[in-house]
Amino acid sequence: MGRMAYTCRRFAPQLMLGVSAHIEGCPVKRIFIPTSKGSDWQRLLAKPKLHWKKGASAMTTAAAWEDARDALPVEITTVLDSSRDEDLLGLTLLAAIPEWEVHLEGGDTASHTDVLALCRNDRGLCIIAVESKVDEDFGPLLKDKRAEASSGQGMRLNFLHSLLGVSRLDDLIRYQLVHRTASALLTAREFHAQVAVMLVHSFGTKASLRSDFDAFCGVLGAQELSLGVHIAPSFRNPRLFLVWCSGNRQFLDVELPSAL
């Protein structure tokens, strides 16, 4: 069999582009083609011309993950191993998928994960949903999202609260952290993975981003295992980790050509 295309039933240690398909009427990506260069990531972006810029999160992320080739970026492995949790130790990358889409209840708009990393070690599968940042915020505050919510968006917020096992998240929590964590949990369930990780891959220096992350860990009752690694003890199957990882800032200086 050729190695130029993979479905979600077949994996190799590759970075893979997604091809749109439809499941239950909602557009998702479930057929994947390996990348050959960082520029291949551009066409998957919601606004590929606007977001493809040197020093911005999309290009920086593509450069960092392509440089790592068939492994997790070294700083991610280092921070996960520092936890000394057996489920996070020595993870091998099976597949890294840019712009992974997860359908959430309450509308047709999917949640887009910057990178979905399917990993394993001797204990089993681990899903890592990566939210990459330079200095942009984690989306709107929940108070603003609630104030502007349509009936469908209200339904989605209720679904997210139920999934995370909380009655009402604080108004000052950032919405993107909520649905990225939901994406990690739902994808882990899809793959029958015993571990879900929501990981912020931060290439910037904006202090408020870390404060927003810490606040989110607090409302989920997450406990710090090591610097940057938290576990939410109320989640059992899958186990849920919230991780902050500082990226290699040299990739902010990488300029990848446009593929459009």
Q: Cβ contacts of residue 116 below 8 Å, gap of 6+?
A: 96, 97, 100, 127, 128, 129, 130, 183, 187
Q: How many domains does the chain have?
A: 1
Say if 1 falls within a structural domain: no
- 20 burial class (0-12, 13-18, 19+ CB within 10 angstroms)? exposed
Say if 260 falls within a structural domain: no
pLDDT at 2: 31
Provide the residue range defining the domain that includes 201: 6-253
Say if 170 falls within a structural domain: yes
CA distance 251 to 40: 16
Say if 258 falls within a structural domain: no
Q: Which of 161, 166, 174 is nearest to 212 (CA)?
A: 174
Residue pLDDT tens, the chain, 260 long: 332 223 333 344 557 766 544 344 455 668 888 999 999 999 999 999 999 999 999 999 999 999 998 999 999 999 999 999 999 999 999 999 999 999 999 877 889 999 999 999 999 999 999 999 999 999 999 999 999 999 899 999 999 999 999 999 999 999 999 999 999 999 999 999 999 999 999 999 999 999 999 999 999 999 999 999 999 999 999 999 999 999 999 999 999 999 99
pLDDT at 14: 59
Say if 234 falls within a structural domain: yes
Say if 86 falls within a structural domain: yes
pLDDT at 13: 52
pLDDT at 31: 84
Residue with structure tokens 């936890």? 83
Counting every residue written for the chain, the total comes to 260
Q: Which of 54, 142, 34, 51 is nearest to 96 (CA)?
A: 34
pLDDT at 30: 80
Q: Would you say the pTM of this structure is higher than 0.95?
A: no
